[in-house]
Amino acid sequence: MEWGKAASEPGKELFAFLPVRDFGFRFYIQADFLLSSSREDVLDSRPWNQTLRDSIAAAFVRAVEQIRNTPNSIVGYLRYLPEGTEITHRFFAPVVDQLFAALSETECIPCATGQWRKPADVLLPPAQFAQLVSAEDSLRLFGKDYPADDVGVSRDQLKALGCRDLMGADIVMMFSKYGEWLLEQGLEWMVEFYDFVASGNRTVLLECGLADAPVVLDAKGQLLSPKTSAIFYPLAVGKVFGFEQDLDICHETVANAIAAGRTSVRSLFDDLGVRPADPYQLIVKHILPKHEGDGWKSASQRSKIGHLRYIKEKRSEFLAGARATGEREEAVWKKLCEILWIGSKARDQRWTFWRPAQMYLSSEYLPEFDIENLLGDGIDKSRLVSPLYLQPADSTVTNDSHEIADWRAFLLALGVNPSPRIMRRANQDIDPSDELKLLLEHQSIDVRRSTLECLDRNWKRYPSSPTFTPSGKWSTQQYTLIKQLRATVAPTKRRTSTRLDQSFCDTQELRDALGNSPCYVDADLEDIAFMGACGIRHQPDIATCVGRLLQLKERDKCTFDEVRPIYRFMEHLCATASVAVKSAFEDNPIILTGGEANRWKRVSEVVWSRQGEFLDRLYPSIQAHYRDYQAFFVSRLGVPLDVPTAGLIRALPLLEEADLRAESKVGEAMRIYSRANHEIDSGNGDGSLPAWLSVFCSGQSFLSHRGRMVRNVGHLFVDDKPEISALFRDAPEISFVAIPIARLPQVRALFSAAKVPTLSASVSLSVFPVEGETDNVALTRRVSERLLLIARFVYSSAHAAYVRANQGGKWAELSMVVVVDVGALEVHVELGGAVARTTGNVLMEQGKIFVRRGSKGVVDRLASEICAFLGVPSGLADGVSRILSEQHMAGAEEFLEVKGVRELPAEEQSRLFEQSSSRTHEPSAADSEVSSDVEPLGHAKTSNAARPLAATARAPSSEAAPKTSEGGPSRAPASTLHAYGGSPSDENVARSSATVSLLPGSGTTGSAVDSAPTSTAASALPPSNGGVIASKFSGINFSPVRRGTPVPSSIRTFGLARPWRGGADKGRRLVSYVEPSTRASSSSTVEEDTIKAVERAAVDFFLSSQAANWTSLEEMPPLNKGYDVRGISFDGSEHFIELKGQSGAWTAAGVSMTPAELLCAAEHNDCYWLCVVEHALDENRRRLYIIQNPFGGAGQFRYDSGWKDVAISERSAALTPAAGLKIVVKDVGEGMVAEVVKKGGAFSRIKIKLDDGREIVRVFNPATMQLSREEDGKDET
């Protein structure tokens, strides 16, 4: 080796006193190793050898210590350290790590300061850093020395020993702890140092917190942290805003260096957060933070003004910067407006600042709405923006008009109020500000006009709705602001003061519609929402017209000339909004009438035409005032030409207090009654009655003969018999409707619908005992002969009355009436409890028609009496009189022919004179055995005041008539028939002629059992009463009738009628039907399930409710023929019970019995029971009806014409009238057809030669005439 230099080449041998071989070391090793026998290798498993190996590192360190203490130490001794993988033998490989570990704790590194230091105290700096920071400064700053330049070893070897590189944290520490030392190095050095830092690993530096450290040198010579301060590059060149001294701006030297090309430094500063003079960054990071807190208060006046100037100058760049960062311009600007403070004109003691939303532009800014000029000293100066912002920072010269306009636009954009401000309350209400109140209440019209025009231009700044919902409440309220606006006195050209909400916008359209009389606002207004909020009518529409009419209504005086243009304009509006126009007049009283008081009416309160003295006061006529407006009022608005019927009805109670004469009241009442009657007669097409009828019936709608309006309570009658009413006019409890007798037909339908009885139908007449009566045979015979013609006439003219009379047996009774003449006809009259006595001319009573001798118009009176008895309209009396007046039958028949009255149908004629079915049974002795509690069905209970005609005709003496338990006659007529047109009411007729009915609740042949518990009295009936069938009690139980117990014949005899064709339960007759067998209808599964459920419920109810009345009840299997339940009575007899369930009520549709059930009933007679359960599925309405021996109780089975559908029909050719045919004329005789005078088929007019020699001419009537051929005498008609 050379002197002073280490010979560190690899390949030095290992010695064990003698060379062994090369193991890769750079130095020689001598040790007493145990070798292999060949001395070529070290025995690596020997502990001795391992101990010697591990001592190599310690020996190397002792050698280094010797070297370090030698004045002329060997340079580069560290080169003896093995590098890489030079030690290849695995036994000596651990020596490398042992060498480096031992040296790391040894001062083995010669350093630049001339000292030996441990590797941990040595820093390996980059060359550029070592140039800027000496080893001595490094030792001062970091406590670490640099290695000597001639250390002679690689950087990796040094790092392996424990020396470390300069770290990013070291750089950060220099700025954080040694900023003063850095500043002492000078500006140029700082530029170089920034350049060095910029060349480093930027990511590592930032991760080490470089941006948090005071890194940036500012213009004041201080190091600032970009993290805690917004640091900017210089703002601009040649322009001063006034707040630069408040900013942190990097040093000019650094800025110049960057400008000179030090791009890496610019990049570093950019990464640290230093930004160029970017308005967005400057405003967000410097100006706004100061205004958010209280920092702006301590700032100088120059800075405060400079902030606003800079924002104004750079607002476009500021918004562009916001967009670049992804923020919404609106949100950023809104935040700016909410944070900034603006100085005001108030500077007496201290400068007052407000947020923009609380301020107005002062006059210096030339605002469009100069509130300072309008209010003068009335405006608070602290609410006005200071004019200092207009002066540049480096000059006192006021800006030009363009600059002022720019400032004005900027301040308004910030939120300075262009119009009077408002204040919001905590409860969501909005109040006008103090200055707005001053403006609205100002005495000057010009000020108020300017204020309204300003609000109109800026109304979008105010609430969109005039109402709000207060916090915690549901109802809405009007804003206080809106109330104040509407109460403002409108600026007008009129001398009168008018509120805004009573004024109109001055447009030509409104003037055309409303005329010149309204109060128009003298201001230029365009915003519809603003005018709507103020209540200013601005649109020529329905609401505006209605509002104007309501204004006129409130005035003391209003002329028709003022309203006519409005009505005309509204007529034009009907073309597009007819419904709305009509609704407006229906909802508001805006029709001006000519009355002295209460002149304004709704549509429903006026009519077009005059109505008379009384009604004109209630419903004024408008025809005289609006003659050219009929199409509008009548056609468009629906003003009636006359008062509607409902209105007339409502007016009736007021008639009593009307200042009218008695005859005028009657006339007015008749006018109303006639109108109402016409509406009833006309009908609605669906059979319903008018809605006003209930009001008419229940109200004080009836003008009495005493001139008072009364209700239909007590004894109120329609006076259709003045000669009778004269007897009771002074009776205080009786009133007659004040209708002239001649006009009764005009109101008959009305009072019938109102259920006001007629006098003739309500009065009771009876004849006092008559002496000297004689039969009027001629008149009796005429009535009898002409009765069929009368029936034809009634059948054709009043069919319903004909049917009622037929059902009531009236025709049969009338066929047996006798006309008698009496000298004097005294009549006992009773009405409403009051009685009187009078005389009459013709009166029908108890099968007789009494005729007072000397009476005039007997036939006419008789015809009226017959019509009254039959219950037909009195208008038919003339026709009946004509029939009776004709001297010959031919004349009467010709009268009917002229009237177009046809023959009665054959089936009607055949049963015309039959008694009602209630008369077909003659009581037997067995009937008397029935308990008196059971009323014989078919015999209506009546008073003894009158007797039926038929009873008188048939019974030779009173003793022959059946007696009741009291000994009186068995029945009486429903009402008395008299000469004054009285007739039994339909209800009485129905009761008196009712047939036996099987309908529930009508008094049937069986018991009725409700699903509710039966009464104690009913359940306690003794078994001996089992034969009694209750017809008056609906909750009684039953037990089987004992054999031999007679059943009332009224129960045994069933009336038979035509098969039921559907419809409601109209009949009250005990009817059974026989129907032909048909195929079973194919019902759905759902229907079958429902039927089964009903049948099951019926059986269960019967078993549960009737078990106590039988020894045992056994339900039969399904489809058992003839009956459903077999019962054993208490006497041991066997009974058979058929059950019929109904889901609803048991109606006239009936229940059916199969042939098997009828055969079973016929076989077992009284031991067979038919039980019907109605409402079987409804526990609350369920009811059981029980009928014993339904087969035996039927007197006969009839097959009506409905069987024609299944019958085999054969028909012979009918004979028609022809000369030579034999003819039999009923009630006339037999003869031969001599000639057919007028051919017309079955209704030909024929001449008949009778066998007695007479010749007659008749219209051929198949019902009364029979034709036959002479050769066989067989009737073929």
Using CA atoms, how far apart are residues 509 and 573, in angstroms rounded to an integer? 13
Q: How many CB atoms lie within 10 A of CB 379?
A: 20
CA distances from 628 to 70, 546, 568, 625 (A): 141, 21, 10, 9
- pLDDT value at position 234? 79
Query: Is 70 exceeded by the pLDDT of residue 399?
Result: no
- pLDDT value at position 920? 39
Q: Which residue has the higher pLDDT, 576 or 1051?
A: 576
Q: Which long-range contacts (CB under 8 A, 24 or more apart) does 96-104 make?
A: 98/54, 98/56, 98/57, 99/56, 99/57, 99/60, 100/160, 100/161, 101/57, 102/57, 102/58, 102/60, 102/61, 103/60, 103/61, 103/64, 103/161, 104/161, 104/162
Per mean pLDDT, which range of 277-291, 419-433, 738-752 is the poorest?
277-291
Q: Which residue has the higher pLDDT, 247 or 589?
A: 589
Angle at 12 between CA 9 and CA 13, to 5 degrees: 170
pLDDT by residue (tens digit) across 611-669? 888 888 888 999 999 999 999 999 999 999 988 888 899 999 999 888 888 888 899 89
Per mean pLDDT, which range of 66-80, 181-195, 275-289, 396-410 is the poorest?
66-80
pLDDT by residue (tens digit) across 676-708? 998 888 776 667 888 899 999 999 999 999 999
- pLDDT value at position 840? 86
Map residue 746 onto helix, strand or coil.
helix
The residues pairing with 448 across neighbouring beta strands, listed in sequence order, are none
Average pLDDT score over residue span 124-134: 90
Average pLDDT score over residue span 224-248: 78
Per mean pLDDT, which range of 153-157, 324-328, 465-469 is the poorest?
153-157
- pLDDT value at position 1016? 35
- pLDDT value at position 900? 92
What is the widest separation between alpha-carbon atoms in the chain? 197
Using CA atoms, how far apart are residues 23 and 94, in angstroms rounded to an integer? 13
pLDDT band at 273; cut points 50, 70, 90: confident
- pLDDT value at position 961? 36
Per mean pLDDT, which range of 31-35, 125-129, 735-739, 1218-1222 is the poorest?
31-35
pLDDT by residue (tens digit) across 1154-1185? 888 999 999 899 999 999 999 999 888 899 99
pLDDT band at 1075; cut points 50, 70, 90: low
Map residue 601 onto helix, strand or coil.
strand
pLDDT > 70 in the chain, percent: 81
Element (H, E) at 343: strand 342-343
CA distances from 815 to 787, 848, 911, 950 (A): 7, 11, 13, 9
pLDDT band at 30; cut points 50, 70, 90: confident
Q: Which residue has the higher pLDDT, 555 or 393?
A: 555
Per mean pLDDT, which range of 382-386, 427-431, 502-506, 1032-1036 is the poorest?
1032-1036
| Beta strands per DSSP E along 44-197 | 109-110, 116-117, 123-124, 164-165
The number of C-alpha atoms within 13 Å of 840 and in the hemisphere containing its C-beta is 29
pLDDT band at 56; cut points 50, 70, 90: confident
Average pLDDT score over residue span 845-859: 89
pLDDT by residue (tens digit) across 875-884? 899 999 999 9
pLDDT band at 1049; cut points 50, 70, 90: very low
Average pLDDT score over residue span 139-157: 85
Using CA atoms, how far apart are residues 1091 and 1099, in angstroms rounded to an integer? 12
The answer to whether the pTM exceeds 0.75 is no
pLDDT by residue (tens digit) across 785-832? 899 999 999 999 999 889 998 888 889 889 899 999 998 888 889 998
Q: Would you give the end-to-end CA distance of the chain in angstroms?
A: 173
- pLDDT value at position 1022? 35
Query: Is 50 exceeded by the pLDDT of residue 960?
Result: no
Using CA atoms, how far apart are residues 871 and 977, in angstroms rounded to an integer? 10
Using CA atoms, how far apart are residues 921 and 750, in angstroms rounded to an integer? 41
pLDDT winner (highest mean) among 366-370, 1020-1024, 1180-1184: 366-370
Instruction: Answer for the pair 1176, 1091: CB distance below 8 angstroms, yes or no.
Output: no
How are beta strands 848-852 and 818-822 bridged, if at all?
Answer: parallel
Helix spans in 927-985 (H):
949-954
What is the residue type of 947?
R
